[in-house]
Amino acid sequence: MGSKDETCFAISIIIIIIGLIFIAIVRVIYVVYRTSKPLRPKSPKPLSTLIVLGSGGHTAEMINVLSALQKDRFMPRFYVAAATDNMSLQKARVLEDLLADTNGGKVVSAKFMQIYRSREVGQSYITSIGTTLIAIAHALWLMIKIRPKVILCNGPGTCIPLCVIAFLFKVVGIRWSSVFYVESIARVKRLSLSGLLLYKLCIADQFYVQWPQLQRKYPRAIYVGCLICRYFSFG
């Protein structure tokens, strides 16, 4: 008798687990389907925006994109750069100062934050496991705090934990973040590793490339041409 109860109990647990897995799979499929569908808000409001900056050329390109966006639609703005990247946040601050000037002196809120990198160039793979876990935990912390409605990124590995967490937030229902990924102008025939991951996993809502060869190779990508119109030189 006892064993029959135990068997019933075990079977119910298994059914519940299978049920939960089924619900999760359906939810994930729905999220993947919904990702890449344009939003249709009744009355568009300003959207909190997370901007992921990376070294050198990456930040310069991102700044070109930001310069073309209407500042009052994308606020508050949160800039994130890797902890070991000294130049990017500086550049972002300069951009925000520029925006304040053209805004008639009105200060629009912007926050600048640093995030731990999963792995430094040349770091051993063993220690990388530990630092990646720390990076994921830190990314989770930042995402819970910010819960952005829009994420803009263009290549550095720092964006991967943030975008994956954004996807999980979509699945779980914490926040629907629209992820826009712009592949670097330096990528002509092959995608970067970050780009490839976000493309294949369908995590980016819109995936932009700057060379037509990439659009032919990756049909879900959108070709936008070269977007560097201003070069911000910081030596």
Which of 110, 114, 74 lies closest to 94, judged by CA? 110
By CB under 8 A, is residue 150 in contact with other proteins? yes
Region binding other proteins by CB under 8 A among candidate stretches 7-15, 23-31, 100-108, 176-184:
176-184
Cβ-count burial 77-114 (b if 16+ within 10 Å, e if not): bbbbbbeebeebbebbeebbeebeeeeeeeeeebebeb
Region binding other proteins by CB under 8 A among candidate stretches 27-35, 66-74, 128-136, 163-171:
66-74
- Token pair of 81 as six digits: 């750069």
If the CB atoms of residues 59 and 138 are measured against other proteins, the closer one turns out to be 59
Q: Least distance to other proteins from the beta carbon of 10, Å?
A: 48
If the CB atoms of residues 41 and 104 are measured against other proteins, the closer one turns out to be 41
For residues 35 and 202, is the Cβ–Cβ distance under 8 A? yes
Eight-class DSSP state of 225: -
Region binding other proteins by CB under 8 A among candidate stretches 14-22, 96-104, 160-168, 227-235:
227-235
If the CB atoms of residues 119 and 187 are measured against other proteins, the closer one turns out to be 187
Distance between alpha carbon 6 and the CA centroid of its chain, in Å?
Answer: 46
By CB under 8 A, is residue 65 in contact with other proteins? yes
In the range 183-222, which residues lie near other proteins by CB under 8 A?
A: 184-190, 192, 205-206, 208, 211, 222
Eight-class DSSP state of 37: S
In the range 40-59, which residues lie near other proteins by CB under 8 A?
A: 40-41, 44, 47, 56-57
If the CB atoms of residues 116 and 208 are measured against other proteins, the closer one turns out to be 208
CA dist 136 → 49, 112, 124, 145, 223 (Å): 20, 19, 18, 14, 31
Residues 6+ apart with CB under 8 A from 76: 48, 49, 108, 109, 110, 111
Q: Least distance to other proteins from the beta carbon of 157, Å?
A: 13
Eight-class DSSP state of 149: S
For residues 183 and 215, is the Cβ–Cβ distance under 8 A? no
If the CB atoms of residues 113 and 224 are measured against other proteins, the closer one turns out to be 224
- Would you tell me which residues interact with other proteins (CB under 8 A)? 38-41, 44, 47, 56-57, 60, 64-65, 67-70, 73, 150, 178, 180, 182, 184-190, 192, 205-206, 208, 211, 222, 224-229, 231, 233, 235
